[in-house]
């Protein structure tokens, strides 16, 4: 029996399939019929996590390391839960308000897509390729909050009033962008 399950704290996955424990070298997933360690993800200094709705992907976040390091720092990593494979890494600019909100990515209802808002640009990515949808982001000048539909691949976002142009709400079908 383990004396210490975690070095900091624990979190459950959305469906309760996994218990995540946090360690200096990364995080570990526990679960299954015999409640044993299922997977480990090496991402030193992780402080926050988020799962896709289906629990297929895990997002880990660690704050930027001290300046002066020559290593390519990826503060955010998306992992495939079943294989433990790193699917994609991202940088976070903590001077940007959008990068200080957690979760930094919002997932579509079925986890097929995820989106990140950065400086009025929505970057919609497909989970199969982990690449940008149509290799283009969506400019949302003055855009604020955005949410996915809980039933379909549709994004809704709000744009504030600007230069005497009234505020509006836009609903965008994904992947067609209509």
pLDDT one-digit tens code per residue, 78-111: 999 999 999 999 988 765 555 567 898 999 999 9
HSE-up (13 A, CA, CB side) for residue 156: 8
| Co-location of 62 and 125 in the same domain | no
SS3 101: coil
* Rounded-to-integer distance, Cα 149 and Cα 156, Å: 7
**How far apart, in whole angstroms, are the C-alpha atoms of residue 51 and residue 16?**
11
Q: What is the number of domains present in the chain?
A: 2
Last residue of a domain, one of 67, 96, 125: 96
Domain final residue, candidates 96, 128, 147 = 96
Q: Which domain holds residue 27?
A: 1-96
Higher pLDDT, residue 39 or 71: 39
Q: 136 pLDDT exceeds 90? A: yes
> Do 49 and 15 fall into the same domain?
yes
Cis peptide before 71 (omega within 30 of 0): no
Domain final position from 46, 61, 96? 96
User: Residue 52 contacts by C-beta under 8 Å, 6 or more apart in sequence?
Assistant: 58, 107, 111, 114, 127
21, 42: one domain = yes
């Amino acid at each position: 029996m383990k004396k210490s399950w975690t070095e900091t704290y624990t979190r459950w996955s959305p469906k309760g399939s996994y218990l995540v424990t946090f360690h200096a070298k990364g995080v570990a997933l526990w679960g299954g019929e015999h409640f044993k360690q299922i997977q480990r993800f090496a991402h030193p200094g992780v402080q926050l996590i988020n799962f896709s709705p289906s629990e297929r992907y895990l997002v880990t976040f660690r704050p930027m390391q001290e300046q002066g390091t020559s290593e390519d720092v990826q503060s955010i990593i998306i992992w495939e839960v079943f294989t433990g494979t790193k699917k994609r890494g991202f940088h976070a600019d903590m001077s940007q308000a959008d990068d200080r909100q957690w979760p930094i990515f919002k997932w579509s209802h079925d986890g097929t897509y995820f989106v990140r808002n950065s400086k009025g640009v929505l970057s919609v990515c497909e989970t199969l390729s982990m690449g940008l949808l149509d290799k283009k982001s969506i400019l949302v000048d003055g855009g604020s909050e955005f949410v996915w539909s809980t039933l379909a691949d549709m994004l809704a976002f709000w744009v504030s009033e600007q230069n005497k142009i009234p505020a509006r709400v836009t609903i965008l079908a994904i992947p067609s962008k209509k």
